[in-house]
Amino acid sequence: MQVLRQLPKFYDPKIIVGGVDMDDAGVYAINDDTAIVQSVDILTPIADDPTIFGQIAAANALSDIYAMAAKPITALTILSYPPKKIGVDTVVEILKGVSEKVKEAGACILGGHTLRNQEIKCGLAVCGIAKPSEIITNGNARPGDKIVLTKPLGTGVISTALKAGCAGSSVVNEMNRVMCQLNRYAAEAMLETGVSSATDVTGFGLLGHAMEMAECSGVSLYINAEQVPIIKGALEFARQGLFPAGSIKNFEFVRDRVDFAQGISEEVQLLLCDAQTSGGLLISVSENRVSTLLEILKKRGIRSVSVIGEVRDAGARRIYVR
Amino acid sequence: MAKEIDVRGLSCPLPVMLVKKAIDAGEVEIKVITNDSAAVSNVQRLGKNRGFRVEVDKDDDNIILLLKR
């Protein structure tokens, strides 16, 4: 935001969600019936297997489109790699992973751009479509709503444990399964149910993205820490001090605006701020529709879904963790 | 004498890995020099959960953690 404030602003009545709105993707109405929804996201390798890394990079980039309840239609792949260190085989494996997920999303890859760089990075620029009236922003959570999270937390701390050589294969496999899971099914469930507000949980962690939702909606969120799903093994790595620097920065950034109840351990406080890759959707839904949403999510095979809290009128703090 | 570990310039998880290695080797007093706030947070957490008292001291450029058991 510090940077964005210094840049010229774009005014066009067709911009429904723009760069200054702190939302997941930009939305532009082409006409009364159709809006395009655009976003770009790039990752450094988070999995050892190149195909799985490609799948995660795609699921992560597509997620911004799903967080607005839109349908991705096209994507461009962006890949940087050091040609002297990385062979063509690995590049093909990464791009295969990307293609598999984009196919699962029902979208098409139209092309992309490759560049030589010291570091491997892979991402996508994604374009989606939606009816302007059906766009779900992060700024419409209403007092009385329930808060639903569709994936467990812990990918930041587990991927750091993986780098440190401390994570066993079962916990890593579970983390990869979580990150590879498309938010498509959660987005479709949102549309079918009719929800108030949504965002996806990524680099700022659950509390960072919850904070944006609370601020943009002018409400406070009450989160029940015990109800927040966490990947098995993540808490133990948290105790061993294996948080990535980003998660600790997230915690330092939000801690003054969050009221943590006594008895919430520092490890759990930090896990709630753990920087996620390809995290789940954080959905605010009216109380009388929450059971419908959970039923549809269950039918679509989404595991680890949990009602983690509720929305109340704005209080002294934006977030209360109980 | 405290075992001294200089982790300046290293980013997570390397500082924690080096301190963990010293703890596993049976060191009971470890001095960690860092200039990274994330390393301070992570090393403190590791130390406390492994039964150490952790003192934090700062000078102009560095943060010094003293882990004692």
Q: Which residues contact A174 (CB under 8 A, 6 or more apart)?
A: A231, A232, A233
Q: Which residues of A touch B17 (CB under 8 A)?
A: 164-165
Sign of CA dihedral A260, A141, A61, A150: positive
CA A47 to chain centre: 17
pLDDT digit string (tens) for A89-133?
Answer: 999 999 999 999 999 999 999 999 999 999 999 999 999 999 999
- Give the model's confidence band at A1: pLDDT under 50 very low, under 70 low, under 90 confident, else very high: low
A241 touching B (Cβ < 8 Å): yes
Token pair listed for A265: 């351990």
Q: Do residues A314 and A217 make contact, with C-beta atoms less than 8 angstroms apart?
A: no
Which residue from A161, A241, A252 is facing B45, i.e. has the nearest CB? A241
Q: Do residues A98 and A55 make contact, with C-beta atoms less than 8 angstroms apart?
A: yes
Q: Do residues A232 and A171 make contact, with C-beta atoms less than 8 angstroms apart?
A: yes
pLDDT digit string (tens) for A148-189?
Answer: 999 999 999 999 999 999 999 999 999 999 999 999 999 999
Which residue from B12, B17, B37 is facing A244, i.e. has the nearest CB? B12
A268 touching B (Cβ < 8 Å): no
Q: How many residues would you count in chain A?
A: 322
Do the Cβ atoms of A239 and B41 come within 8 Å? Answer: no
pTM of the model: 0.93
Hey, how many other C-beta atoms are within 10 angstroms of the C-beta on A287? Answer: 12
Instruction: State the smallest CA–CA distance between residue B48 and chain A in angstroms.
Output: 9
E strands in chain A: 15-17, 26-29, 35-43, 71-81, 108-116, 121-130, 146-149, 197-200, 219-223, 258-260, 281-285, 306-313, 319-321
Spatial separation of the C-alpha atoms in residues A280 and A201, rounded to whole Å: 6
Given this model, what pLDDT does residue A21 score?
76
Ordered domains of chain A (ranges, CATH): 4-134 (3.30.1330.10), 146-321 (3.90.650.10)
Q: Do residues A290 and A195 make contact, with C-beta atoms less than 8 angstroms apart?
A: no
Written as one letter, the residue type at A107 is A
Instruction: State the smallest CA–CA distance between residue A248 and chain B in angstroms.
Output: 6
- Give the model's confidence band at A303: pLDDT under 50 very low, under 70 low, under 90 confident, else very high: confident
CA-CA distances (angstroms) from residue B29 to A75, A227, A241, B23? 54, 39, 18, 9
The ipTM estimated for the assembled molecules is 0.87
- Nearest residue of chain A to residue B20 (CA atoms): A240
Do the Cβ atoms of A241 and B46 come within 8 Å? Answer: yes
Q: Which of A276, A40, A44 is nearest to A181 (CA)?
A: A276
Do the Cβ atoms of B38 and A248 come within 8 Å? Answer: yes
Do the Cβ atoms of B38 and A249 come within 8 Å? Answer: yes
A230 touching B (Cβ < 8 Å): no
Q: Which residues contact A62 (CB under 8 A, 6 or more apart)?
A: A72, A75, A101, A102, A105, A107, A124, A126, A182, A183, A184
Q: Which residues of B touch A270 (CB under 8 A)?
A: 41
User: Does the pLDDT of residue A197 top 70, yes or no?
Assistant: yes
Instruction: State the smallest CA–CA distance between residue A155 and chain B in angstroms.
Output: 14
pLDDT digit string (tens) for A8-39?
Answer: 888 999 999 987 777 889 999 999 999 999 99
Q: Which residues of A touch B20 (CB under 8 A)?
A: 240
Q: Do residues A187 and A272 make contact, with C-beta atoms less than 8 angstroms apart?
A: no
Do the Cβ atoms of A243 and B12 come within 8 Å? Answer: yes
